[in-house]
Structure 1
Amino acid sequence: MTFVGIDVGTFETKGVLVDADGEVLAMARRRHGISTPRPGHVEHDPESDWWADVTAIARELMQHPRGSEVRAVAVSAIGPCIVAVDEDLRPLRPAILYGVDTRATRQIEVLTERLGAEEIFRRCGNPLTSQSTGPKIAWLRDEEPEVWERARWFMTSQSWLVARLTGEVAIDHATAGYFHPLYNLRERRWDLSGCEDIVTEDRLPPVQWTTAVAGRVHDAAAAATGLPVGTPVIVGTTDAPAEAVAAGVVTDGSLMAMYGSSGYFIRVGSRPLTDKALWAAPFVFEGTYVLAAGTATTGTATRWLADLLNLTDTDDAVTFGRLLELAGGSPPGARGVIALPHLAGERTPFQDPDSRGAVAGLGLEHTRADVARAVLEGTGHAVAEAILTYERADIPIQRVVAIGGATKNEIITRTVSTVTGLTQQVADSPGAAYGDALLAAHAVGTLAELDPESPWWPEHRAVEPDEQHATLLRADHEAYVELYRALAPWSRARRTGEREPK
């Protein structure tokens, strides 16, 4: 008996074939890019970026001798995204990505004024931000009315992929919880009050729990993927909850810190806590909730830096090894250089899509190593500031488990632990695709109990605060926040055109 998990990320899709004991029998991956047709617009092509990856990876996994034993399939993907599709599930335009896409700023302002900030927060447990999908549907209505009119469904990434596999349309509560202001958190249902001109409920996928079986692989999908006809496919979720499950973050008070292309942080709880600086949503299991936070760029900033400094190799391990070696030539604190890595705006706690990157404190004495270290430490400061938001909201964190590719960058992770004072347990896990396989096994009863001590969950290594440089790095963190506040009015003026010649 085996299980397939596939996760579609911002730049890469990964898949695993796992047996009933949690052993990974096979892995596959494919890279893809993003499209940025205009400032603030970040998109994927669902067919060539998502479906092509899923079919290729599934076919590769099915080549394993135990591929024919697949008992269930789960797919996760980046989100919340918006993909408008017709009756036949054909995308009508490129998919609009999650919070890194900031195009709907005006719609956020209009909806907040119309509904009232307090009513939105009461209904959704969240303010409207670039992470909210409701304003992006409104953007389609306002800017591309022909697409909006033709759309039969407004789906998200994994819901569209599950529909392609099964023909059944569904979305999980954990993702629907980010369709603010269209989802009622406490009642756990669609609530379109005051938004009827944006979308009607019959154009949104029915909401189910992540581990419900959405449907079974149909003939056409089996031919495309190699998956056996009739294999159960669960509703699935976005990549971050799947990452949390993969890391064993399933107990009350645990925090998953995902160091991916962007940063994402999930604190699991047994009741729906809310705070205006954090995102509240259901978790993947009934009766569980999350308070989440996010940064706009984490791994993306490091890749941008490596490309900028001409360190890029075809092998990512070589690329990031070069970057870490270069940055290691500068001491902690980067000799007074401070970087703001807001290359695509910033999310928690600033929720500022207009913020942009900066490097401050440069002098003739500084080197490429100082700039490299400053950007890496700045990325750590961004993560730390998001995690510190929980402390300010008086939300206790019992345990931090870090996961994701950027955890290999010790400058980033050590900066985070030092600034927050928290020890991080770094999980050596295959990631969200593994969490998908675990959820699929749980859905069909093979993995009945979700015990973090189970062999399905990985071992950890600890990242402790650097007490020797704590005073310096915490002072730098204050400087990071001050730099953002100083530049925020300038960044906002760039968007509004106030800086343009009269």
Structure 2
Amino acid sequence: MAVTMGIDVGTFESKGVLVDDGRILAEARRPHEMLVPRPGWAEHRPEEDWWGAVTHLSRALLAQVPGAQVEALAVSAIGPCCLPVDASGQPLRNGILYGVDTRATVEIAELNDRLGEANILTLAGTALTSQAVGPKVLWLQRHEPEVWAATSRLHTSTSFVLERLTGAFAMDHYTAASWSPLYDMARQDWSAELHGICEAAQLPRLLWSAEIAGHITPEAAQATGLPEGIPVTTGTIDAAAEAVSVGVSRPGDLMLMYGSTVFVIEITPGRVTDPRLWSAPWLFQGQHAAMAGLATSGTLTQWFREVMAPGLPRDTAFETLMGEAEASPPGAKGLLCLPYFSGERTPIHDPQARGVFFGLNLTHTRGDLFRAALEGIAAATRHIAETYAEAGAAPSRVMAVGGGTKMDPWLQATSDMTGLPQELRRVTLGAAYGDAFLAALALGAARPQDIDAWNPPERTVEPRDVPAYAKSYPLFRRLYEQTKDLMHELPA
């Protein structure tokens, strides 16, 4: 039996899958934590959370299908991340995560002043925000000089795993574009001027996501149980693999991922240059993408469960909260929520933004609060959709994916708030399934259009006319504008 394996390392959970021409043969999961050592910081342990997830899931999948002949592996992971390693490839500290980590605000401001915001946008296609890796590398150089002195190479999560699997030091273009201002979008290569942030030798070779970057080494074969010598693709960020899994393949296609954060990817006819969005080459040469993302989405629902419903059984807590939210009317009885509990990414790019429940009175229930939280995330998603339209990239087709799609009030509120139908595919496993497809592409065992046969559409969530949202959304936008100065004055 010839199969491909896909593994995705997420923020709170990693998943793996074995697939035979679209048919899922085995699934496995492994939870882990996001470390928050200080407010505004977000980290993972690369050995335990990244490499440990890959070795654990690989062996767990192979154990479920004895005799499976794995022909290729693709791995995706959270990103963009920043991990320094020494000359032997050993991590020198925890991995610094994507835009939820806001430690480099001073470096962002300095680089904007020194290089010019317009020049950075022209060069890299992406304005400097908490999502950008370049300022975090500069932060590392300045705040951890002993670590920096020992740094031989700079990794993201996928490139670290790739090096462990194959010995190759490589990264995909889609991920590299998030290393602003180190990436040159026009040249599709690292910039000739690295602005004193790092040295060229510390940066990986750039490849496309479905290219074969290397082959399983004897050491990796022993650690993972995979056959020595099988090919491994370059890999990519988890959200991109998730987009692949649900058929995002042509200009106008947009993925709306309901995960720890809401993440949005649209394939665009050409390069979109708008400081409110992120831009990158897509996974395949000749294609472009524009991205957006909220900072707190699924993590807000987890926080709510832990703080507001600690007595509920963990395995049924969300089912109970969903029932309570559905009993609350749209608009949550006039309650608004700004979901900026970890600052906010697109389109406001404000790491000092704060979470707010506004309009509380003594009649509000826990269900009203949970509905307001879901509607706040939906309103922030509408803000993103409006930004795409203003940038000249209004989507023509929306595909929803991720664990949050199982929360019907959240899913429906998003369609109602944005006015966009959302197509759901049969397989909702997400990025790991997309990875298995990318591995098949690398082998030549599948064509890009074959994803529709692998994972056909199953249902569509249609938007409804909800008068309460016509009133609440303008208030949502005004609430942030009228409170952001106060947010910025609060202690960190």
Which bin holds the TM-score, normalised by the shorter protein? over 0.9
Q: Tell whether the 8 Å contact from 2:385 to 2:394 is kept in structure 1 after alignment.
A: no
Which residue number in structure 2 is paired with residue 335 of structure 1? 333
Letter aligned with residue 489 of structure 1: D
Q: Does 1:153 align with 2:138?
A: no
**Residue pairs, 1:348-497, within 5 angstroms:** 348-427=346-425, 428-447=427-446, 449-451=447-449, 454-467=452-465, 469=466, 471-494=467-490
1:192: how far off? 4.8
Deviation per residue, 1:217-239 (Å, 9 max, x gap): 11111111101111111101010
Q: Distance in 2 between matches of 1:10 and 1:32?
A: 8
Q: Note closer, same or farther for the CA distance 1:3–1:308 as it changes in structure 2 (3 Å cut).
A: same
Letter aligned with residue 7 of structure 2: I
Q: Tell whether the 8 Å contact from 1:125 to 1:279 is kept in structure 2 after alignment.
A: yes
Letter aligned with residue 365 of structure 1: T
**Residue pairs, 1:241-252, within 5 angstroms:** 241-252=240-251
Q: Distance in 2 between matches of 1:453 and 1:95?
A: 33
Q: Distance in 1 between matches of 2:484 and 2:252?
A: 33
Q: Distance in 1 between matches of 2:285 and 2:368?
A: 48
Q: Distance in 1 between matches of 2:313 and 2:211?
A: 40
Q: Tell whether the 8 Å contact from 2:381 to 2:418 is kept in structure 1 after alignment.
A: no
Q: Distance in 1 between matches of 2:249 and 2:186?
A: 20
Which residue number in structure 1 is paired with residue 167 of structure 2? 167
Q: Distance in 2 between matches of 1:180 and 1:483?
A: 31
Which residue number in structure 2 is paired with residue 97 of structure 1? 97
Q: Tell whether the 8 Å contact from 2:209 to 2:234 is kept in structure 1 after alignment.
A: yes
| 195-204 vs 37-46, which moves further | 195-204
Deviation per residue, 1:369-399 (Å, 9 max, x gap): 2111111111111222122211122213110
Deviation per residue, 1:462-492 (Å, 9 max, x gap): 111122x2x2113211111111112211121
Q: Tell whether the 8 Å contact from 1:169 to 1:206 is kept in structure 2 after alignment.
A: yes
For the residue of structure 2 that corresponds to 1:415, the secondary structure is: helix
Q: Tell whether the 8 Å contact from 1:100 to 1:344 is kept in structure 2 after alignment.
A: yes
Q: Distance in 1 between matches of 2:85 and 2:212?
A: 22
1:453: how far off? 6.3
Q: Distance in 2 between matches of 1:330 and 1:58?
A: 43
| 288-297 vs 377-386, which moves further | 377-386
Q: Distance in 2 between matches of 1:430 and 1:172?
A: 23
1:460: how far off? 3.0
Which residue number in structure 2 is paired with residue 500 of structure 1? none
The runs of at least 4 consecutive aligned structure 1 residues that moved more than 3 Å come to 64-68, 311-316
Letter aligned with residue 16 of structure 2: G
Q: Distance in 2 between matches of 1:355 and 1:321?
A: 30
Q: Tell whether the 8 Å contact from 2:124 to 2:181 is kept in structure 1 after alignment.
A: yes
**Residue pairs, 1:182-331, within 5 angstroms:** 182-193=182-193, 195-310=194-309, 316=315, 318-331=316-329
Q: Note closer, same or farther for the CA distance 1:34–1:488 as it changes in structure 2 (3 Å cut).
A: same
Q: Distance in 2 between matches of 1:415 and 1:305?
A: 18
Which residue number in structure 1 is paired with residue 9 of structure 2? 8
Which residue number in structure 2 is paired with residue 17 of structure 1? 18
CA RMSD of aligned residues (A): 1.4
The number of equivalent residue pairs is: 490
Deviation per residue, 1:399-439 (Å, 9 max, x gap): 00010011111222222211221111123421100000000
Q: Distance in 1 between matches of 2:115 and 2:132?
A: 15
1:323: how far off? 1.4
Q: Distance in 1 between matches of 2:390 and 2:311?
A: 39
Q: Note closer, same or farther for the CA distance 1:6–1:263 as it changes in structure 2 (3 Å cut).
A: same
Q: Tell whether the 8 Å contact from 2:309 to 2:317 is kept in structure 1 after alignment.
A: no
Q: Distance in 1 between matches of 2:297 and 2:364?
A: 24
Gaps of 5+ in 1: 498-502
Q: Note closer, same or farther for the CA distance 1:31–1:313 as it changes in structure 2 (3 Å cut).
A: farther
Q: Distance in 2 between matches of 1:301 and 1:72?
A: 36
| 87-96 vs 272-281, which moves further | 272-281
Q: Distance in 2 between matches of 1:69 and 1:311?
A: 45
Identical amino acids, percent of aligned pairs: 45
Letter aligned with residue 15 of structure 1: G
For the residue of structure 1 that corresponds to 2:327, the secondary structure is: coil
